[in-house]
Structure 1
């Protein structure tokens, strides 16, 4: 049972939306974030700075930075960039880019659903990062980045959403990266009740983005309760719930700095026991078309390698393409045992396509690997089994943005 709750956040005004709503900051490098902040002083990203965004030797203390974030938030709220909702509401939130659209419901859900496993996760979290985000919530007291959840769609919920999509949205604007943002406010009591009942029939939701933010809310709630405070916003996750069928999952591709002592020819020969190998000129290379298939790009050559027989392991993680790549190629052939920490391995989001992978080869990486994207069904199977995916298994695009809402706690 998923218990959604209406709430009364601050919502960005139409006049300020284009300048205040943030970019996809977690896909930006620290340098890119610094440059963006300098060029966009009114953007909400300025309220979310962390010590990692500063060069070594120039980093403020955490206490200094938290105070600066508090000051930035105060200036932004005082500027008139937000209006305070005066009715309990849900929000229908649609993101569109490159012919793809996904439409979700922005709502609060009890943090206990995350604690008790009704919100299913598929990633490990780092305790120090959880605690740092928890301290941010304790000090700044603002939540603006909805945690993204997937659910199996139902006709009841879909029918409500469809009604609103035929109406004029409260917000409709494009961000510089081309992602269209549309928002409808839902405050009619009968419609709120219909959505509450619709989600009550959904047993589990699945975390697709925001594992650390979800975990940090547990720390924040514990801190507020230790201060003697009763139930409050800290006991609820700010979420956007999307039908699983609408989410677009891109692959996380890999690039390898060197082949060790192997040549491109001997590397490909080492794969032939587990894979069929088809070489082709680089200008004829195509992205993988099915599960168990990879595209290998090296200087002067390209190859499609296809798994000879798909594994049927009882562990859903072991059946993932990214796990097969790690277990059958990266570790045994190239000696990359730790996919999180090995400096010879890097990741490239799937939206860059073959061109992005070829650019890495031109930059000196000896091997770029295009993967077939992990499916939502595979993600759900891993989460249902309480297992953890390998790093960089999924890339959801587009992602909900920060700065549309501000919820104080």
Structure 2
């Protein structure tokens, strides 16, 4: 029984929303970030990076308090305004290739603790603690946890009706995505949603494992504080989420010659040379590889693999178990400097270029994981390897703020 609640969001005013909202802070190059901060005084990036004006480096706690101070200034200046009534919010994103529609709500820490909210990724303790401190001292969160729910006809029909009405916000970004936001504060609508999600049961974290773990840690530290027993989430249907792979780039062959490496690969894979033909896997258990100026198709010989769990069947785990660890000697996927990752949104030619330039020795191209695979791993209480999925949609900072 998944619990959801409405909340009194803080949002930009309608006339300023396109100038206020920003991509996630980490997505900007230094030049892009400097340009935004220099020429757009309304950008939410000023809240996230309040030390920019003085170019000062500060300790984390002081910096987070400065974030809170700048956020308060945005509210005092009327750039951000809090809604009068608790509401849920429908958010629709239309890109060149996809349309995403989901619901922004408060989700329950109790559900997170009791495994009603399922997770599939491990977290790093220092990142969890750091973001917990950010939440504590800044007093707000504007990055909802992305969660999926099983496709539901009742919810789909409700969303379809509501999104045919005039949106509270409609704006475009420089990447030519169009964003819409509807505030839903009608008590009957909210009750309908709460009943529907209660009947749905489990919901699954798609992106935001560190954020949800930080919210739990903050609750454990201050359980009586207002709004700490819920955290902001963006709920979207299983079929509406877009999952890309993360591809792997490897620095060297671990002391092996090319022929020795290919011979070891042939123990578990059928190898087909594609030469200069750009290759991307077309199905599960098929891998692309770029080595020494040539593409290869690697097909797993599944009859040689004893799959005992959902994790064993995951392509990213297979690549680790059969190639990265035993052949290339990469045991720590998070910290080994010999491996790097590229999101599957980028063209295969990016892998080709990095290998041809000598920056890496070879690259592996994976087939994207399916949502059912991710949910099966979460249901089995297993953990996916780092950088297994790059999931969309991505949320814009400053669009909806959940105060703590």
The correspondence for 2:299, drawn from 292, 297, 306, is: 306
Does the residue aligned with 2:239 lie in a helix, a strand or coil? Answer: helix
Name which of structure 1's ranges 320-329 and 184-193 shifts more when overlaid on structure 2. 184-193
Deviation (angstroms), 1:30: 7.1
Quick check: 1:321–1:371 contact (8 Å CA) kept in 2? yes
Q: CA deviation at 1:374?
A: 1.1
Measured in 1, the distance between the counterparts of 2:167 and 2:306 equals 47
SS of equivalent to 1:352: coil
SS in 1 for 2:134: helix
Q: 1:368 aligns with which of 363, 366, 370?
A: 363
Write the distance in 1 (CA, Å) between the matches of 2:123 and 2:211. 10
- Aligned match of 1:22: 22
Does structure 1 residue 296 correspond to structure 2 residue 294? no
- Give the secondary structure class of the aligned counterpart of 2:350: helix
Could you say which residue in structure 2 is the equivalent of 1:355?
Answer: 349
Deviation of 1:248 after TM superposition, in Å, equals 0.2
Distance 1:379 1:40, change over 3 A: farther
The worse-fitting range, judged by mean Cα deviation, of 319-328 and 21-30 is 21-30
Q: Take 2:4 and 2:324, find their aligned partners in 1: how far apart are those partners?
A: 43
TM-score, length basis structure 2: 0.92
Could you tell me which of 173, 178, 182 is aligned with 1:184? 182
After TM superposition, give the deviation of residue 49 of structure 1 in Å.
4.6
Pick aligned residue for 1:240 from 225, 234, 238: 234
Change (3 A) 1:193 1:343: same
Q: Distance in 2 between matches of 1:167 and 1:291?
A: 41
Aligned in 2, Cα 1:34/1:133: closer, same or farther, shift over 3 Å? farther
The whole-number CA distance in structure 2 between the counterparts of 1:38 and 1:266 is: 54
The aligned runs of 1:143-154 (5 Å cut-off) are 143-154=141-152
Number of residue pairs aligned between Structure 1 and Structure 2: 400
Task: Pick closer, same or farther for the CA change 1:219–1:261 going to 2, 3 Å.
Answer: closer
Q: Which residue of 2 aligns with 1:3?
A: 3
Q: Which residue of 2 aligns with 1:79?
A: 77
* Corresponding residue number in structure 2 for 1:169: 167
Match of 1:134 among 127, 132, 137: 132
CA offsets 1:256-277 (integer angstroms, 9 cap, x no match): 1122333444422321121111
The C-alpha deviation readout for 1:27-71, integer Å capped at 9, x for no partner, is 4567865665455553223333599xx9xxx74212321232122
Indicate the residue corresponding to 2:62 in structure 1: 64
Higher mean Cα deviation, 140-149 or 259-268? 259-268
Alpha-carbon distance in structure 2 between the residues aligned to 1:400 and 1:199: 22
Q: CA deviation at 1:220?
A: 2.1
User: 1:241 aligns to what SS in structure 2?
Assistant: strand
Q: Which residue number in structure 1 is paired with residue 311 of structure 2?
A: 317
Partner of 1:156: 154
User: Given that residues 119 and 206 in structure 1 are in contact (C-alpha distance below 8 angstroms), is that contact kept between their aligned partners in structure 2?
Assistant: yes
**1:44 match:** 44
The answer to whether residue 117 in structure 2 is matched with residue 119 in structure 1 is yes
Cα RMSD, aligned residues only: 2.3
CA deviation digits over 1:264-307, x for unaligned, max 9?
4442232112111111222x222110001111112321111110
For residues 91 and 223 of structure 1, the distance between their equivalents in structure 2, rounded to whole angstroms, comes to 29
CA distance in 2, matches of 1:208, 1:33: 27
Instruction: Please tell me whether the aligned partners of residues 42 and 79 of structure 2 are also in contact (alpha carbons under 8 angstroms).
Output: no
Question: For the residues of structure 1 that align with 2:260 and 2:344, how far apart are their CA atoms?
Answer: 27
The verdict on how the C-alpha distance between 1:404 and 1:255 changes in structure 2, with shifts beyond 3 A counting, is same
Q: What is residue 268 of structure 2 aligned with on the other side? A: 274
Instruction: State whether residues 293 and 356 of structure 2, in contact with CA within 8 Å, keep that contact through their aligned partners in structure 1.
Output: no
State the alpha-carbon separation in 2 of the partners of residues 298 and 353 from structure 1. 17
CA contact under 8 A between 2:61 and 2:137: conserved in structure 1?
Answer: no
Would you say 1:255 and 2:260 are equivalent positions?
A: no
Deviations 1:186-227 (A, max 9, x none): 1222222211111111111101111111111122223334xx
Is contact 1:312-1:319 (8 Å) kept?
A: no
CA contact (8 A) 1:296 1:368 kept: yes
Given the alignment of the two structures, is residue 13 of structure 1 paired with residue 6 of structure 2, yes or no? no
Instruction: Give structure 2 stretches of 5+ with no counterpart.
Output: none
Measured against aligned partners, the alpha-carbon deviations of 1:80-124 in whole angstroms (never above 9, x if no partner) come to 222321122111111222321121111112211111111111111
Q: Distance in 1 between matches of 2:309 and 2:391?
A: 23
* 1:143 and 1:238 in contact (8 A); partners too: yes
Correspondence for 2:94: 96
